[in-house]
Structure 1
């Protein structure tokens, strides 16, 4: 026993010398800012349920359908089940394996051998000599067990558990993205509906102006050039109408794809789109991102898994202790196979194995695990910075877009009044047709830009909720 311990100690000294791990740290190496844009907020919109955050029954119904039918969400649940199976497998590796077995064999010893010379005159029972062609029937149970001395199997289990929780966070990330995508496409669809309505209203105004010019031409007040100019303006607006109808169709089908269904009309409320958009989003503290954003939480679990992988790879350098055994019945013929205790057979074996000649392969696997651990740390730090920047940008954009929306509203009102004024002046002959065309075109552009400003506000409201890590709860 003393000699065995000496051998083990010498072997460990040789092996440990080649397996030093690099510890990249366990947390975030940079100091996280205390606030966004210098504003401190104790509340956080990410903790609000998405049904309350969007507060639109039609939109929430669409999101509900997407969460139940979207293929990316459904696939993420299967990846969770695969990770769960990995956890069960790692737990099973810690336990002994027991299996039933049975074998049938026949042996013949050479007569001019030690076995043959000994068996030819040996009685297997009082009345029968060992036959030259000896059959062997064996049935019973066998077991094997690797005793986890150095924690290799336990660390593999920790890695599997961390990856299981990481797969849950991956599903949460998909859920957050799906909610944001459905909401943003819904807002885009509402914007296109309003754009189409504005175009059709302007087409009516342009057609009325064209009718006036045609009447004036017939009366000799104006010429063919004015008619063609206004006619071209009407055709251009009708062309925009057709393009908008195609955009509406494609946007509807993008929503249908997210909802996991074939093309069909998407229910929406275009009037609600014109409601006031003065809203404030509570963003909380930047440190809240560590617990709210699924991508950060996923990268954190991946880092934990990578650290456990390093420890498991490090333990591969050490000797492993394996116990094996078998218990059953063995005989040379079936008639006496289950005779007890004469036919009972068992074996017990304990073995200590240590890698010597293949250390380069084990060392390469250890270095690979070390590099993966460092990469996982960088991914974690990168996800934290990326999350902070996303919230920072969306918060700044939200404030700018409110100012832009207010200015676009005033611009649209002013230019809409200019259309009425130029039309009245044109009817009385105090303005020419070019002034009518220009005022109508500017008013149309202003109205479309106002719709675009509203859409950008809604999308930013969704994006900041997503950036904060909302939606998956």
Structure 2
């Protein structure tokens, strides 16, 4: 009896062993701080001591945009697929976790058989029966941590899909914001084209009158008509783009864009809050895609433990206890009980190098995940650095473009007065009109680029998720 207890204790102790290598987080393959230089002067990276606030409802100040993002979070199919993937991997983890524990089953069976006389030694027919009730137990002893490693791998894969869901959510929020801003910009361009067409038509009317009275030349009249036709082309182009923008936005929302949603093209409003950076570059470890890459690395590390354990014996314990009787009424009578105990062991001897190849594959897969993890960090660092450079330079670029727009407006007003008073030719007025139109378009384009770069910086910093409360995988 003492020997049996000692054997059970020894098996229990061995079941806690694991051949899984100890996880260590790879060294960060990037600099410890954000880049510096002329392109970054005036960016948020110069701020110090700011608390990170990347909640999307606070970052996006436009109520309509916040409403659209909420609709997308409820209806978008990509996000729904990501959520279902989390559920699927959670179920797989539960499956793998169950393999570590004993499996217990209860079974009952019964049958009655009639044997004809010519097959019976007595020469007469006979009816026999057999009934049983059994409680069975089956358990694989995880002596070398194979099942534990597989369970750990499934757990880390589940965590990785959760991080992937959060990454999908952040990408969706940024995509909806960019689609909305693009719609606003194209709506503004459409309005500029309409206003320009109205100006061109008024100029054409005056030029036609001057031509009729012999003041303007046929060339000037042709140039005026050409300007009107050019503006009409622009109107149709931007009308098409506005419609396509609404279709793109509807795809992200998972439904048609609400008809009451305005698209007034007012990009001058302060639609976005300032992204406060001013924090060390290890902030990137809170990005969901980097968290996902690290969980996948941990899963690959756990798989090595399972591949190593496959070289060692596998021991299974199977037993059953129950009752059996030839009559259903006597199934639970005294003396009807029975039991069996059938331990088994499987020792790998020769498999043509399969186990070695599986271990090599597991180790190579781990090395691949290390490289992918490092690449994810490098990509994140570059995205943030690009965003910081864009943040600083777009402020100066948009201001310069605004100054150019004011100058072009003054130039147009002056050219128009000089043409009406006969000081300059229509060619000068036409040049002023075209320059103003181009500068207006460029200003809207620069403003859109500035705002989308702010959205991309928000996304690059892991915005749209509570980065303060998100648990981060740590080494060890």
Q: Quickly name the TM-score band, shorter chain normalised.
A: 0.7 to 0.9
Aligned to 1:96: 102
2:292 & 2:220 partners in 1: Cα distance? 65
Aligned to 1:261: 255
Aligned to 1:74: 80
Query: Is 1:282 matched with 2:267?
Result: no
Aligned to 1:87: 93
Which stretch shifts more, 237-246 or 267-276?
Answer: 267-276
Aligned to 1:294: 288
Per-residue deviation, 1:453: 0.8
Aligned to 2:384: 391
Query: Is 1:194 matched with 2:159?
Result: no
Per-residue deviation, 1:239: 1.1
Quickly say closer, same or farther: Cα 1:310–1:426, change in 2 above 3 A: same
Quickly say closer, same or farther: Cα 1:390–1:306, change in 2 above 3 A: same
Quickly say closer, same or farther: Cα 1:278–1:59, change in 2 above 3 A: closer
Quickly say closer, same or farther: Cα 1:290–1:404, change in 2 above 3 A: same
* Aligned pairs (5 A) from 1:24-423: 26-30=24-28, 32-38=30-36, 41-42=47-48, 47-103=53-109, 136-262=130-256, 265=259, 267-268=261-262, 270=264, 272-275=266-269, 280-283=274-277, 284-291=279-286, 293-334=287-328, 336=330, 338-358=331-351, 360-423=353-416
Per-residue deviation, 1:159: 1.2
Quickly say closer, same or farther: Cα 1:71–1:361, change in 2 above 3 A: same
Which stretch shifts more, 45-54 or 163-172?
Answer: 45-54
Which one of the candidate residues 455, 458, 468 is aligned to 1:462? 455
Which blocks of at least 5 consecutive residues in structure 2 are unaligned?
A: 8-18, 37-44, 115-120, 467-476
Contact 1:46 1:471 in 2 (8 A): no
TM-score by length of 1: 0.85
Aligned to 2:16: none
2:136 & 2:271 partners in 1: Cα distance? 72
Contact 1:277 1:454 in 2 (8 A): no
Quickly say closer, same or farther: Cα 1:267–1:210, change in 2 above 3 A: same
Quickly say closer, same or farther: Cα 1:198–1:70, change in 2 above 3 A: same
Q: Could you say what the CA RMSD is over the residues aligned between the two structures, in angstroms? A: 3.0
Q: How many residues align?
A: 437
Per-residue deviation, 1:45: 7.4
Which stretch shifts more, 154-163 or 268-277?
Answer: 268-277
After superposition, give the CA deviation of every residue in 1:427-468 in whole Å (9 maximum; x if it has no partner): 111111111111101110001100011101110110001001
Secondary structure of 1:472 counterpart:
coil
TM-score by length of 2: 0.85
Contact 2:153 2:300 in 1 (8 A): yes
Quickly say closer, same or farther: Cα 1:66–1:263, change in 2 above 3 A: closer
Which stretch shifts more, 442-451 or 400-409?
Answer: 400-409
Quickly say closer, same or farther: Cα 1:364–1:333, change in 2 above 3 A: farther
Per-residue deviation, 1:107: 11
Secondary structure of 1:51 counterpart:
helix
2:457 & 2:51 partners in 1: Cα distance? 9
Contact 1:253 1:264 in 2 (8 A): no
